[in-house]
Structure 1
Amino acid sequence: MDFTFTEEQLMIRDTAEAFLAEVSTSAAVRAAMATELGYDAELWQKICDEMFWQAIHIPEEYGGMGLGYVELVAMLEQMGRYLLCSPFYSTVCLGVNSLLIAGTPEQKAEYLPRIIEGATATLAYTGSNGRWDAEAVTATYVRSGDEYVLNGSWRYVPDGHSAQLLVVAAREEGSSGTSGITLFIVPADSQGITREWLPTMDQTRKQAQIVMADAVMAPESVMNEPGNAWQLLERIIGLATVAVAAEQVGGAQQALDITVAYTQERVQFGRVIAGYQAIKHKAADMMVKVEAGRSAAYYAACVADETLRGGSLASELGDAASVAKAWCSDAFFFNAGCGIQLHGGVGFTWEYDIQLYFKRAKSSETFLGTGAWHRDSIAASLLD
């Protein structure tokens, strides 16, 4: 498999890097963090209108750019590097992917153009039991004629308090495991839905709880075949996991870069600490973590591309995503932790940005499964 970027992919990556360096500065990130919305609405509209990033892998027939997952991952790496505060991940990596994988032709035709115009979306499937597999789906539904009545709650939903479109997973009352799961797409302001922002350690990405109490879903809100959506949801989760890994690579790279820059400025015993062998060794370890993580993330991106296009590697998505997430989670947390240590006592103070990366590293490590969870998943698949 060729991992060399094409000229077009290099241009996409470099353009994203230049744009984000300008708009996602430390001051901009901190200003967005302080709001409940979690991002600058004007910046999001600028991203949609001028950069057209939200449409990057939406097929051209719906008005999108029709590019692949490698191009998306190249942008996500830069977003992770600059801690972009925006609903991009929730909208594109959760909402759009849900529509591409599980949406009916009518749902794609209705909602994808709305997302291209700037509408936001997200996916909610996890309850509060700490699981990330099929058992995470705890909300239930019962059929009432042609309609579906949903009850339950979802937690850890990225931008769930502000998204305009919700894709939710619920299971038929009385079902368990992978059976009985159905995906629904619904406007977030529908009757019977309440949403609450849940403050977390990582303020750069907002999460929410969504509660439905006797929320009635029309038949046209059902995505694909009722009761048999787990395989589709598993694929959506795999794509979302690859996207998180890409962000983690960018964050790990930036943690390395700002730490090296700091060690080249800090003087101890009459010389900059970057000149000490122990510091050099630690920086080298951090670089190895980044490069290995980047290789895993871009291989997973190639597999994700094949999955969306129906290629031969589609069956490898789960394992490739788990390898990428396990390695990149560990790499990001390692680099952010080393960054805190090499900054010394000031590393965790508000003045320095390394503490923002440390918090994002921990938050993204647990989201969609820790490294240990994914290693167990890989081991289980090898035994099947």
Structure 2
Amino acid sequence: MSVAAVGAFTDEQLELRKTVRALLTKHADQAAVRKATESEHGFDATLWDLLCQQVGVAALAIPEEFGGIGASAVETHLVMEELGRTLAPTPMLGSVVLAAQAVLASGDSEACERLLPAIAEGTSIAALCWTGADGSWDTGRVGVVADGDTLTGSSHFVLDGSYADVLVVAATVDGRVALFEVDPEQDAVTRRRVPTMDPTRSVAVFEFAGASGRLLTTDGSAALERVRTLACVALSGEQVGAAEQILASTVEYSKSRVQFGRAIGSFQALKHRMADLYFLVETARSASYAAVASVSEGSGTAATDATVAKVYCSEALQAVTGDAIQLHGGIAITWEHDAQLFFKRAHGSAQLFGQPRAHLHALAVDSGLF
């Protein structure tokens, strides 16, 4: 991390980062991450319990009145960055960033009082059902239709949905998107975990066949706009952490891999290449930190800054992991090596909350270029 970036955080925030990193170093090494991805639901429940009980990560962004800590978006961002460094599969993004913030954005105080304390404790895991089969994260177009409080249709790409006990479902009501609370255990709801390119990210598909739901808000589009902004910023933090880690691993490898009697890291061409990657990581960090600062301060440019971070960090991580694969050579594409996991995370993450080209198009439209 650059000196400027360190100076932007308080001592408490830096201590939070240090604590999370220490816990993940101890409990989320390569073997633990791979074991978690191969488990029934694809995450480490013991690690999640430690993060929630010892650090309180799930409570950070939840207001104190609803059982949380009431911290700013910055604290959650630092946690996401550390999780990105290890690729540790947890419900942080799906339950805490997406679903919990959707409940908050709904403005339903009764639902907040009832649902959020358990999410903050980590004893309940929530999931946001948003996109249809086309994978669009459009806030005005979803895959579920509601007739009164009865929901029919399907939701795809539901993060952490395979083990969630609470669902927040976006459904169309009379041409408008609304949000509903749905119990996933009812007979009219079926779910299945689906295989993905990135094994460290658990994703599910839900089918609703006349499922009953409780209305949270009729203005679901506005709530989803808020959630998407927060999600893009949080994801950018994860991407920066992943990019920093895979670059560090690549640099270390270049110091030990000998070719033509010399460590490959001593070749000028590779030094230049890794310097370019370092530039990418640090500029991605700048975009990500600018976005979280904008969100934390309630800036009017928060949505735009989040979009910039989403696009830049997605493309930076893909570039860094792509070059890491090449610089490691053939070993990087073997299942036993971590480089391929970072590469898959990079390309999988780029699709979340809208592809970079979709965000760029939206920016161009908003700017009057189209």
* TM-score range normalised by the length of the shorter chain: over 0.9
The answer on 1:199 being equivalent to 2:183 is no
The unaligned stretches of length 5 or more in structure 1 are none
Q: What corresponds to 1:15 in structure 2?
A: 19
Work out the CA distance in 1 between the residues paired with 2:296 and 2:108. 20
Alignment of 1:86-235 (within 5 A): 86-117=90-121, 118-143=123-148, 148-173=149-174, 175=175, 180-217=176-213, 221-224=214-217, 226=218, 228-235=219-226
Work out the CA distance in 1 between the residues paired with 2:82 and 2:194. 26
The unaligned stretches of length 5 or more in structure 2 are none
Q: Deviations over 1:218-265 (max 9, x none)?
A: xxx2113x2x22112111111111111111111111110111111111
Work out the CA distance in 1 between the residues paired with 2:200 and 2:137. 22
In the TM superposition, residue 293 of structure 1 has moved relative to its aligned partner by: 0.8
In the TM superposition, residue 135 of structure 1 has moved relative to its aligned partner by: 4.8
* TM-score normalised by structure 2 residue count: 0.95
**Structure 2 counterpart of 1:31, one-letter code:** K
In the TM superposition, residue 63 of structure 1 has moved relative to its aligned partner by: 2.2
Q: Deviations over 1:186-227 (max 9, x none)?
A: 23213411101111110001101011001122xxx2113x2x
Report percent identity of matched pairs: 40
Q: What corresponds to 1:31 in structure 2?
A: 35
The verdict on how the C-alpha distance between 1:289 and 1:97 changes in structure 2, with shifts beyond 3 A counting, is same
After superposition, the CA RMSD in angstroms is 1.6
Work out the CA distance in 2 between the residues paired with 1:274 and 1:298. 30
- Helix, strand or coil at the partner of 1:347: helix
In the TM superposition, residue 278 of structure 1 has moved relative to its aligned partner by: 1.1
**Structure 1 counterpart of 2:197, one-letter code:** M
Work out the CA distance in 2 between the residues paired with 1:265 and 1:136. 51
Work out the CA distance in 2 between the residues paired with 1:138 and 1:99. 19
* TM-score normalised by structure 1 residue count: 0.91
In the TM superposition, residue 324 of structure 1 has moved relative to its aligned partner by: 0.2
In the TM superposition, residue 116 of structure 1 has moved relative to its aligned partner by: 2.4
In the TM superposition, residue 373 of structure 1 has moved relative to its aligned partner by: 1.6
Asked if structure 2 preserves the Cα contact closer than 8 Å seen for 1:36 and 1:197, the reply is: no
49-58 or 134-143: bigger deviation: 134-143
The verdict on how the C-alpha distance between 1:190 and 1:303 changes in structure 2, with shifts beyond 3 A counting, is farther
| Moved beyond 4 Å, runs of 4+ | none
Q: What corresponds to 1:257 in structure 2?
A: 248
Asked if structure 2 preserves the Cα contact closer than 8 Å seen for 1:69 and 1:304, the reply is: yes
Q: What corresponds to 2:323 in structure 1?
A: 338
Q: What corresponds to 1:58 in structure 2?
A: 62
Asked if structure 2 preserves the Cα contact closer than 8 Å seen for 1:130 and 1:136, the reply is: no
How many residues get paired? 364
In the TM superposition, residue 358 of structure 1 has moved relative to its aligned partner by: 0.2
